[in-house]
């Protein structure tokens, strides 16, 4: 009886649905805005994105990114002309830190995207198809997860040779298993849900079930993880840069800058300090944003 | 699992674009010398044969030798691993000893200034790059204030204690060399704090979240109703139930710390396997890196096994699944 009523008033039903989803959206925004830390995270991430986007046009000494040499003003302390001081060849540290945001954004995006692109399909296959294939996928994942990511990345970079491309490749290679684990668990849980069973009962194809019923429900945990991973990947790449295996100077990468600046401590303290602050604020932003998103998407942890 | 790990390390060391034999022979070597080295290390054999040899070698304790120093990797690992273990164990210990009470405190005083302060510390801890934190601590405490040494394990003039366990602090203690012990502790303080900070932050965070959830449970309310003291409820009933996810995090963090030790050891010039791996990686010397990867992987697996065993000890329901 109810279905007949609904089928006579399809538009009203559509409006009801819309209204409830805007209500839901407004509730999300309210939850997010109420939390000071989520808002801080969003602001930090937006600032970082803005700096990465317009960096090359706002920096005072654009030529300093490509290793220009001004020996007459090397290792100058922070001043009005050089807010963060200058480095050992006279480059403006402020310019290089600002341009480093763009480098870090690239690194974070590439690693996270590659990892998700490899990990998510594997996780769905392992969780939904299962069987021997699923078993193999999960065993391989476990092996990768059994070695600390940084050590494995070190091994891969050691094999491929230092450099920013190899560092990103290595980190992407060690990053995907986390997504397999996440999506696998989620897929297993969803496969047992009534709505998936119902879809199967009415004869929906496997592909359609995966794309229409399972994947959309995996999106929110993936987004939360991706936000967190942006931060962690940037941190890891900076770590590789610091030990000399990532970006090579004079490329304006934060980790590599800290590494060279280290030789100039303690007298020329600004050299290492400001790139580190850049990393800290960026990673902090992505972590807080990830936390805020989780509070919205995961009602269980909603306090 | 271990077999899988062997496959991975083998694959990494054999997909290298460069020719390891040529690398080992040095830049001036002629083709004949490269060929000799290739035959000597079995690099001319088909891959499955190489893999078979590799696995057999590892099973008999042979991890190959460093191309650079010609030292057996196994001997190097035996020499350097105790230092890393000491660093990681102390840091993890500190993180647990501080993290759990702070998480508890934060949960019990939820939404007060104690909680806010603890949360600021915990989000910062995860976001701070460990190597940068290490440098800043060196800058402020070792260089500016001059109260603690910059790096290394002992002053150059000091003689290390006669080895018993190869753990320097334990050895100094066993030999009764109090001066050396104090020196070693002073050297360990900054690296331990640096490595401990991210772990402390995440342990605190998990513990806080779990405690908050557990404190809302019915049995806690009944315990309150029966008049148990707040302290007893928190430490005895709530903490025990909040410990399982915390323990998972501790196990996970052990692995992260082994990874983080690479950076912290580089900053503080700590003679452990992290620094060893970095030096090897910088000069494209594979065998040491593979040895370190295997050792740390096995270590992490063992740690996870211990965590699984501890679950059973904490939660009787896991111990006897048939009666659940």
Residue length, chain A?
303
* pLDDT at site B161: 76
Select from A140, A244, A284 the Cβ nearest to the Cβ of B127: A284
Non-local CB neighbours of A128 within 8 Å, separated by 6+ positions: A187, A191, A206, A209, A210, A214
Please tell me if residue A105 touches chain B, with a CB cutoff of 8 Å: no
Confidence class of residue A2 from pLDDT cuts 50, 70 and 90? Answer: very low
Span A222-226, average pLDDT: 88
Q: What is the rounded CA–CA span in Å between residue B126 and residue B202? A: 7
CA distances (Å), origin A239, targets A49, A163, A246, B132, B134: 21, 13, 8, 9, 12
> Taking CB atoms and an 8 Å limit, are A280 and B128 in contact across chains?
yes
Q: Mean pLDDT lowest for which of A59-73, A85-99, B130-144, B203-217?
A: A59-73
Best of A159, A176, A227 to substitute, by most chain B Cβ atoms within 10 angstroms, is: A159
Span A128-156, average pLDDT: 84
* pLDDT at site B18: 56
Which chain B residue has the Cα nearest residue A237?
A: B129
Which chain A residue has the Cα nearest residue B13?
A: A159
Q: Which residues of B touch A161 (CB under 8 A)?
A: 17-18, 284
* pLDDT at site A186: 86
Q: Mean pLDDT lowest for which of A10-19, A244-253, A259-268?
A: A10-19
Question: What 8-state DSSP symbol labels residue B72?
Answer: B
pLDDT digits (tens, 9 = 90+) for A270-303: 778 888 888 999 999 998 888 888 878 765 554 3
Please tell me if residue A266 touches chain B, with a CB cutoff of 8 Å: yes
Smallest CA–CA separation between B53 and chain A, in Å?
A: 20
Q: How far out from the chain centre does Cα B289 lie? A: 16
* pLDDT at site A109: 92
pLDDT higher than 70, residue A36: yes
Which chain B residue has the Cα nearest residue A240?
A: B263
Most confident of A79-83, A157-161, B136-140: B136-140
Which chain B residue has the Cα nearest residue A145?
A: B297
Q: What angle do CA A91, A284, B281 make, to 5 degrees?
A: 60
Which chain A residue has the Cα nearest residue B255?
A: A148
> Taking CB atoms and an 8 Å limit, are A158 and B130 in contact across chains?
no
Q: Mean pLDDT lowest for which of A173-182, A201-210, B76-85?
A: A201-210
Confidence class of residue A117 from pLDDT cuts 50, 70 and 90? Answer: very high
Q: Mean pLDDT lowest for which of A11-20, A108-117, A143-152, B115-124?
A: A11-20
Q: ipTM score of the complex?
A: 0.80
> Taking CB atoms and an 8 Å limit, are B136 and A276 in contact across chains?
yes
* pLDDT at site A115: 92
Please tell me if residue A302 touches chain B, with a CB cutoff of 8 Å: no
> Taking CB atoms and an 8 Å limit, are A160 and B209 in contact across chains?
no
Please tell me if residue A161 touches chain B, with a CB cutoff of 8 Å: yes
Span A126-144, average pLDDT: 85
Q: What angle do CA A171, A175, A177 make, to 5 degrees?
A: 150
Q: What is the rounded CA–CA span in Å between residue A264 and residue A275? A: 14
Question: How many Cβ pairs closer than 8 A exist between chain A and B?
Answer: 150
Q: Residue B239's CB: how many other CB atoms inside 10 A?
A: 20
The four Cα atoms B8, B11, B13, B15 give a dihedral, to 10 degrees, of -140
* pLDDT at site B324: 36
Q: Determine which helix (DSSP H) or strand (DSSP E) holds A148, and give its type and residue range.
A: none
Q: Name residues of chain B where pLDDT drops below 50.
A: 322-324
Q: Which residues of A touch B15 (CB under 8 A)?
A: 159
């Amino acid at each position: 009886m109810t279905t007949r009523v609904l089928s006579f008033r399809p538009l009203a039903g559509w409006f009801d649905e819309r209204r409830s989803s805007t209500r839901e959206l407004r509730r999300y925004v309210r939850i997010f805005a109420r939390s000071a830390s989520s808002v801080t995270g969003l602001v930090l991430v937006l600032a970082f994105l803005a700096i990465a986007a317009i960096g090359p046009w706002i920096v005072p000494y654009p030529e300093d990114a490509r290793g220009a040499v001004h020996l007459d003003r090397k290792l100058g302390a922070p001043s009005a002309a050089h807010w963060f001081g200058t480095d050992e060849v006279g480059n403006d540290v402020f310019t290089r830190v600002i341009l480093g945001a763009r480098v870090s954004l690239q690194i974070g995006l590439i690693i996270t995207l590659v990892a998700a692109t490899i990990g998510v399909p594997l996780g769905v296959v392992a969780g939904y198809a299962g069987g021997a294939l699923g078993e193999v996928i999960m065993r391989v994942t476990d092996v990768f997860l059994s070695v600390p990511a940084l050590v494995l990345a070190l091994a891969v970079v050691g094999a491929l040779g230092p450099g920013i491309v190899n560092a990103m490749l290595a980190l992407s290679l060690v990053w995907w298993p986390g997504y397999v684990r996440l999506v696998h668990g989620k897929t297993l849980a969803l496969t047992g849900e009534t709505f998936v069973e119902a879809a199967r009962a009415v004869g929906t194809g496997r592909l359609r079930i995966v794309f229409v019923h399972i994947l959309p429900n995996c999106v929110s945990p993936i987004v939360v993880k991706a936000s967190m991973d942006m931060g962690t990947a940037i941190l890891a790449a900076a770590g590789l840069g610091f030990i000399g295996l990532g970006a090579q100077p004079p490329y304006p990468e934060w980790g590599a800058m800290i590494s060279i600046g280290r030789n100039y401590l303690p007298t020329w303290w600004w050299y290492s300090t400001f790139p580190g602050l850049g990393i800290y604020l960026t990673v902090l932003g992505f972590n807080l944003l990830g936390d805020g998103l989780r509070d919205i998407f995961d009602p269980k942890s909603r306090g | 699992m271990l077999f899988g790990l062997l496959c991975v390390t083998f694959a990494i060391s054999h997909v290298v674009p460069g020719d390891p034999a040529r690398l080992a022979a040095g830049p001036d070597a002629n083709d004949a010398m490269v060929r000799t080295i290739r035959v000597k290390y079995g690099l001319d054999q088909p891959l499955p044969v190489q893999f078979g040899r590799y696995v057999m070698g590892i099973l008999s304790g042979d991890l190959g030798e460093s191309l650079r120093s010609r030292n057996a990797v196994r001997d190097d690992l035996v020499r350097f691993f105790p230092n890393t273990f000491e660093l990681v164990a102390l840091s993890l210990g500190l993180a647990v000893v501080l993290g759990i009470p702070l998480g508890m405190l934060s949960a019990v005083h939820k939404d007060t200034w104690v909680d806010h302060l603890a949360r600021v510390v915990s989000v910062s801890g995860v976001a701070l790059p460990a190597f940068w934190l290490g440098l800043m601590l060196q800058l402020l405490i070792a260089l500016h204030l001059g109260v603690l040494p910059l790096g290394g394990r002992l002053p150059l003039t000091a003689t290390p204690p006669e080895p018993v366990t190869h753990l320097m602090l334990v050895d100094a203690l066993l030999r009764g060399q109090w001066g050396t012990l104090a020196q070693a502790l002073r050297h360990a303080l900054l690296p331990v704090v640096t490595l401990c900070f991210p772990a402390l932050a995440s342990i605190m965070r998990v513990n806080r979240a779990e405690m908050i959830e557990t404190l809302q449970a019915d049995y806690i309310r009944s315990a309150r109703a029966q008049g148990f003291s707040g302290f007893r409820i928190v430490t005895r009933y709530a903490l025990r139930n909040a410990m399982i996810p915390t323990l998972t995090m501790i196990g996970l963090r052990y692995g992260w710390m082994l990874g983080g030790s690479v950076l912290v050891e580089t900053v503080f010039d700590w003679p452990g396997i992290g620094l060893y791996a970095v030096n090897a990686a910088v000069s494209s010397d594979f065998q040491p890196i593979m040895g370190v990867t295997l050792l740390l992987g096995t270590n992490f697996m063992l740690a996870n096994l211990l965590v699984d065993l501890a679950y059973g000890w904490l939660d009787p329901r896991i111990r006897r699944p048939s009666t659940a």
